[in-house]
Structure 1
Amino acid sequence: MTFTITDLSGRIAAITGAGQGVGREVALHFAKSGAKAVIVNDFYAERANAVVQEIEALGLGTRAVAAVFDVTRLDDVKTALAEAAQAAGGPIDILVNNAGNAGVNPDPDARKHFWEVGEAAWDSFIRVNFYGVINCTAAVVPGMIEQNAGRIITIISDAGRVGEPNLEIYSGAKAGAAGFMRGAAKALARHNITANCVAIAATATPAISARMEANPDAKKKMLSHYVVRRMGEPTDIANMVLFLASGASSWITGQTYPVNGGYSFNL
């Protein structure tokens, strides 16, 4: 019998924004690591259902459940995750806050400098990347406290660590999510619940890949800032998330781990 420190046998995981990109890869990683069930969230049902079908096609016995909701709506989050947990066969053991960007209907001015726009554009980033993390975490924490165990992992961005022009509000929202996770780590440690962040840089998700392939010069310029001169792949991120979700990370909490090809360094 082979032993692996990242075995998720018997665990139920929920991943937000898992219909594509990093979230999809995390869902597949969890299924391949023996998770009892994986709850796949997206606000597009067809994307969530497609990943559910991918997991089922692996034939590994992991139950896959689609959960269609917008992370910015607390009541919807609580209802949908409760129903999904029931369908999955138990309380949620692992939450991955992956949903990001500017939400379902992003304001067209969201990527302009913050002083050139107003609250509607700011909210595009704040509601998903900050309130979305709070909402989903609030929905699962009572169940984790009851079972005295849990893992919470939030995907942030290096923008939240070092700041990015034209993405000032996004940077602030991601930094806010990291601060929230540090506070949650201190509040929840007594219940054997850990809370950590993974900070990512340019990753070859469908949207970013399309943008880069359309502008090779911009891609070359961007990669010049990376020590490892390639874009990240969703699997690069999923590997770290799997580690933080597993028993191998039981003495790690309140931390932010950059997975960024050396775009920025951390002490």
Structure 2
Amino acid sequence: MLSLTDHTALVTGAGQGVGRQIALQLAQHGAAVVVNDFYADRAETVAKEIADAGGSAKAVTFDVADYAAVAAGMEAAERFGTVDILVNNAGNAGPRVDPLAPAPPFWETGPADWSPWLATNLHGVLNTTRAAVPGMIERGWGRVINLMSDAGRVGEPNLVVYGAAKAGVGGFTRGLAKALGRHGVTANCVALASVRTEATAALLDDPAAAKKVLSNYVIRRLGEPEDVANLVLFLASGASSWITGQTYPVNGGYSFAV
């Protein structure tokens, strides 16, 4: 039931970290994978990694925050295969240079500070979904899987606007699920806490900071990209055919879903 043979998946932000692992996992289960990233070399490296392992992949570079670029990228993706699995993984953790430095409070920021958070994390999801969903409706089958963050479920004082963008993704997904269900298309969210990736390396290399982070988790380890990819695989497959509009935390017990 986890076979994705004869399906084509588009994974945004798949050039590294969680997105890369999702792309690899879907390819291992038979999907043809369109590997998207903002950086062409990253996308091409992952696509080659899939091909070298015997899978089928194509690198497509575009910025999810640019709708015109997304539309052009979708055209390129559809020439490779009919996209019926969309994984909105691309995200922006914000413009902070030093991940160990405290973020300024929300009331000391302004629209120019908020824009990077909103453009990729919320508008990017709207853009790619708008581009992909008409084809899914036409074919009568599809999966939209949106990665969000526990910052959007429970709130984080240093990630106020980021959390707002991610919460918006959750609300968007629930509405989308109700709109698409009659067309055979499901939409679900996967909410993450701290996962060990290149983006978190600076934080996790600091022993004191890592210890503080781990104290928040019932399961005393950080997430691995594989933990996320396993759930995405399930939601992309036929095994999840009667599940839609849900948000599933993958967070080691950082917070609990009700």
Q: Same fold by TM (over 0.5)?
A: yes
Alignment check: 8 A CA contact 1:107 1:121 kept = no
Aligned match of 2:34: 39
Aligned match of 2:226: 235
Aligned match of 2:68: 75
Of the three residues 50, 53, 56, the one matched with 1:55 is: 50
Alignment check: 8 A CA contact 2:35 2:46 kept = yes
Unaligned runs of 5+ in 2: none
CA distance in 2, matches of 1:26, 1:223: 24
- What RMSD, in angstroms, separates the aligned Cα atoms of the two structures? 1.4
TM-score, normalisation: structure 1: 0.93
Structure 1 stretches of 4+ with a deviation exceeding 3 A read 106-111
Aligned match of 2:170: 178
| Aligned-pair identity (%) | 58
For residues 49-102 of structure 1, what are the alpha-carbon distances to aligned partners after superposition, in whole Å with 9 as ceiling and x for unaligned?
11011001102xx3211110100001110111111220x2x3201000000124
CA distance in 1, matches of 2:43, 2:173: 26
CA distance in 2, matches of 1:162, 1:99: 21
| Residue 12 of structure 2 corresponds to residue 20 of structure 1 | no
For residues 18-56 of structure 1, what are the alpha-carbon distances to aligned partners after superposition, in whole Å with 9 as ceiling and x for unaligned?
000000000000111011x10001010010011011001
* Mapping 1:1-267, distance limit 5 Å: 5-35=1-31, 37-59=32-54, 62-86=55-79, 88=80, 90-102=81-93, 106=95, 111-213=103-205, 215-267=206-258
1:13 maps to a residue whose letter is A
SS of equivalent residue, structure 1 residue 93 = strand
SS of equivalent residue, structure 1 residue 227 = coil
TM-score, normalisation: structure 2: 0.96
- Aligned residue pairs total 255
CA distance in 1, matches of 2:130, 2:97: 30
Alignment check: 8 A CA contact 1:114 1:122 kept = no
Alignment check: 8 A CA contact 2:218 2:252 kept = yes
CA distance in 1, matches of 2:96, 2:17: 22
2:152 maps to a residue whose letter is G
2:90 maps to a residue whose letter is A
Alignment check: 8 A CA contact 1:102 1:128 kept = no
CA distance in 1, matches of 2:78, 2:97: 35
Q: CA 1:67–1:49 in 2, change beyond 3 Å: closer, same or farther?
A: same
Alignment check: 8 A CA contact 1:226 1:263 kept = yes
Alignment check: 8 A CA contact 2:190 2:232 kept = yes
CA distance in 1, matches of 2:30, 2:202: 33
2:221 maps to a residue whose letter is R
